[in-house]
């Protein structure tokens, strides 16, 4: 049974207790819903992989309430600290050197010597992390490879009966996952996301390298097919074909519009919910062209993976 919690302090405390005793709880963040487990409990972390059907070589992001907790398991240099000061709490994940023999469950990092860390900026996530009082490993709360969840209903339709609970709540306002930055040793974009590359570069004062090769282990989660609806997806479509449902952007005629005014932040916020609805029609999906500036880079990254061949 999957318990549905309301976003009251009492329910969030109960959910935190479930996490502390080894359970799996889905919760809203400002990006997408996460599926949390105590990052120091190996059995609980393994249960995340089982619930999602996630390949075991794809490590998880550790979520903490504040930066002081990070020092127990990872190391931050001055450049990482600069990004943290600018963007945390918020939709940015840093891949940091792992402290050897630290307290994290080994499966969290899938055997790598680095760990991905994020401080989310959503009141429910923040409260849950505070009450749990332990680092929480949390991938997006969807079956592996499928469309990410931005509503409690999305979580339930994918994982009902496979997890202990979900906290209801609005506010996945960014709408797509965090931007992931690694250091190898120069700052490198591992996944486009809610913080625009332009904003990172402004803080760093230099252009950031982009991770090129999606097949190596430095970004194991960057499989080409991901975020995939059941039906085929075509991109950069100006004239949809008969039978297709049309996902638009900017002023145009279409079945769903990510942002009639052409606002990329609004489009990102609406992206996954629109894909869930269009997927439910069972028809092939055609998507209008979307600019790749700002958060548009992340929108096009997700759409490219949604459109990729499935195997
Ligand atoms: O916004 C987000 O980041 C959401 C919310 C819940 O915080 N989480 C999320 O998790 O998107 P997930 O598991 O769907 O994506 C995590 C990504 C994967 O591509 C994974 O491979 C990568 O982070 N990752 C995790 N640890 C890593 C590491 N040590 N080195 C490189 N990539 C890592
Ligand atoms: Mg995911």
Above 60 in pLDDT, residue 220? no
Amino acid 211: pLDDT: 86
Closest CA to 125 of 81, 89, 162, 83: 89
Amino acid 229: pLDDT: 87
Q: For residue 210, what are its two tokens?
A: 């982009």
Cα angle, residue 30 at apex, residues 129 and 288 outer, rounded to 5°: 155
DSSP per-residue letters across the chain: --EEEPSSHHHHHHHHHHHHTT--EEE--SSS-EEEEETT-HHHHHHHHHHHT--TTS--EEE-SSGGGGGGTB---HHHHHHHHHH-SSSEEEEEEBPTT-SS-GGGGTT-SEEEEE----HHHHHHHHHHTS-EE--BSSSTTSPPPSSHHHHHHHHTTTSSEEE------S-SPPEEEEESSSEEEEE--SS-HHHHHHHHSSPPEE---TTSTTSTT--SS-S--SS-EE-S-SSPPTT-EEEE-SSS--SEES-TT--HHHHHHHHHHHHHHHHHTTS-EEE-----STTHHHHHHHHHHHHS---
Q: Tens digits of per-residue pLDDT, 241-298? A: 999 999 999 999 999 999 999 999 999 999 999 999 999 999 999 999 999 999 999 9
Above 50 in pLDDT, residue 217? no
pLDDT band at 222 (very low <50, low <70, confident <90, very high): low
Task: Determine the distance separating the centroid of ligand 2 and the alpha carbon of 177, expressed in angstroms.
Answer: 8
125 lines ligand 1 (CB under 6 A): no
Nearest-angstrom CA–CA distance, 254 and 246 = 5
Q: Global pTM?
A: 0.96
Cβ of 71: how many Cβ atoms within 10 Å?
10
Amino acid 225: pLDDT: 80
220 lines ligand 1 (CB under 6 A): yes
The label of the residue with tokens 């001055």 reads 78
Sign of the alpha-carbon dihedral angle for 195, 196, 197, 201: negative
Q: Tens digits of per-residue pLDDT, 92-131? A: 999 999 998 999 999 999 999 999 999 999 999 999 999 9
Amino acid 227: pLDDT: 85
Amino acid 201: pLDDT: 98
Q: Tens digits of per-residue pLDDT, 151-175? A: 999 999 999 999 999 999 999 999 9
Nearest-angstrom CA–CA distance, 4 and 15 = 10
Task: Determine the distance separating the centroid of ligand 1 and the alpha carbon of 60, expressed in angstroms.
Answer: 5
Above 50 in pLDDT, residue 38? yes
Over the chain, what is the mean pLDDT?
Answer: 95
Pocket test for ligand 1, best of 142, 169, 175, 177 (most atoms within 8 A of CB): 177
192 lines ligand 1 (CB under 6 A): no
């Amino acid at each position: 049974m999957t318990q549905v919690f309301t976003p009251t302090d009492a329910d969030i405390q109960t959910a935190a207790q479930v996490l502390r005793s080894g359970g799996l709880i889905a919760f809203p963040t400002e990006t997408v819903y996460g599926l949390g487990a105590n990052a120091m409990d190996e059995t609980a972390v393994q249960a995340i992989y089982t619930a999602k059907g996630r390949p075991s070589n794809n490590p998880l992001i550790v979520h903490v309430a504040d930066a002081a907790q990070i020092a127990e398991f990872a190391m931050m240099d001055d450049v990482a600290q600069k990004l943290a000061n600018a963007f945390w709490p918020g939709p940015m994940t840093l891949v940091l050197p792992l402290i050897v023999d630290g307290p994290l469950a080994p499966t969290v990092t899938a055997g790598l010597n680095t760990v991905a860390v994020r401080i989310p900026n959503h009141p429910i996530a923040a409260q849950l992390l505070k009450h749990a009082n332990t680092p929480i490993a949390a991938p997006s709360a969807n079956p592996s490879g499928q469309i990410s969840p931005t509503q409690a209903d999305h979580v339930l339709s994918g994982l009902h009966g496979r997890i202990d609970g979900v906290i209801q709540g609005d506010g996945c306002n960014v709408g797509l996952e965090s931007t992931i930055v690694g250091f190898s040793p120069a700052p490198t974009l591992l996944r486009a996301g809610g913080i625009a590359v332009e904003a990172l570069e402004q803080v760093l004062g230099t252009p950031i390298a982009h991770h090129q090769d999606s097949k190596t282990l430095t970004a194991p989660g960057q499989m080409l097919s991901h975020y995939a609806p059941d039906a085929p997806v075509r991109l950069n479509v100006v004239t949809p074909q008969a039978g297709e449902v049309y996902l638009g952007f900017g002023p145009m005629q279409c079945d769903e519009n990510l942002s009639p005014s052409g606002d990329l932040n609004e489009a990102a916020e609406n992206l996954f919910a629109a894909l869930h609805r269009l997927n439910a029609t069972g028809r092939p999906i055609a998507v209008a062209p979307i600019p790749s500036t700002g958060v548009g880079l992340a929108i096009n990254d997700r759409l490219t993976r949604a459109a990729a061949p499935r195997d």
